[in-house]
Amino acid sequence: MKSAGLCMPKKSGGLFFALALLGLVLIPAPDASAQSASYMGRYCWNITVTDTTVTGMVIPTIFVFTSDIVNMGGVSYALTGYATDPGDNPAMYGGVGHIVGNTLYLNLTGSQNHLSGGWRDTSVFHAEIDPSSLSGTFYEVGNDFNATTRSRDSGRYTAGTIALAPTCP
């Protein structure tokens, strides 16, 4: 007869669980100072689109990307932010950055729920930035779905330049 409720481990599994738990207790924790993250502040970026597959987009188009950046230690960064387009919901982004050699590489994922038309957008954003000038290039690849018509596009591509804005709006 099967018992109702949770599946209980066999007795031989109990010894494995006890050894695993003991191993977790005996492994020393890393130095807390090596893991301390520090908030660097709010940064705004001018994103200038110079190439796109989006029909009807004016070239160049400039967006302001507002971001909060946290140094995760050393040359690793976490970044969250948004880009606004007047008359629409913001496009939200989050991801990581790493300095490798003399380049800051940003990799972000994003999404946007448009106010009208039923479109829901997703994107992957990649930038390569010179840490001394805080400017560089980017590309973004996305897929969009229309929740109203149940249709999707064939993919979206944009590329251009990214540069630290002098001030945040």
Task: Please write the tens of the pLDDT for every residue from 12-39.
Answer: 444 443 444 444 444 554 555 556 899 9
Span 155-166, mean pLDDT? Answer: 96
Percent of the chain at pLDDT exceeding 90 = 72
Which three-class secondary structure string do you get for 81-117? EEECCCCCCCEEEEEEEEEECCEEEEEEEEEEECCCC
The owner of tokens 């599946």 is 7
Determine contact, residues 89/111, Cβ cutoff 8 Å.
no
At 83, list the tokens.
């880009």
Rounded to 5 degrees, φ, ψ at 18 are -65, -40
What's the mean pLDDT when you consider all of the chain? 84
Percent of the chain at pLDDT exceeding 70 = 79
Q: What domains does the chain contain, in order, with CATH numbers?
A: 38-164 (2.40.128)
Look at residue 21 in the predicted model and tell me its pLDDT.
41
Rounded CA separation 92/18 (Å): 44
Enumerate the β-bridge partners of residue 4: none
Does 141 have pLDDT greater than 50? yes
| All residues at 6 or more sequence positions from 27 whose CB lies less than 8 Å from its CB, including other chains | none
CB atoms within 10 A of CB 145: 14
Alpha-carbon dihedral angle through residues 164, 165, 168, 169, given to the nearest 10 degrees: -140
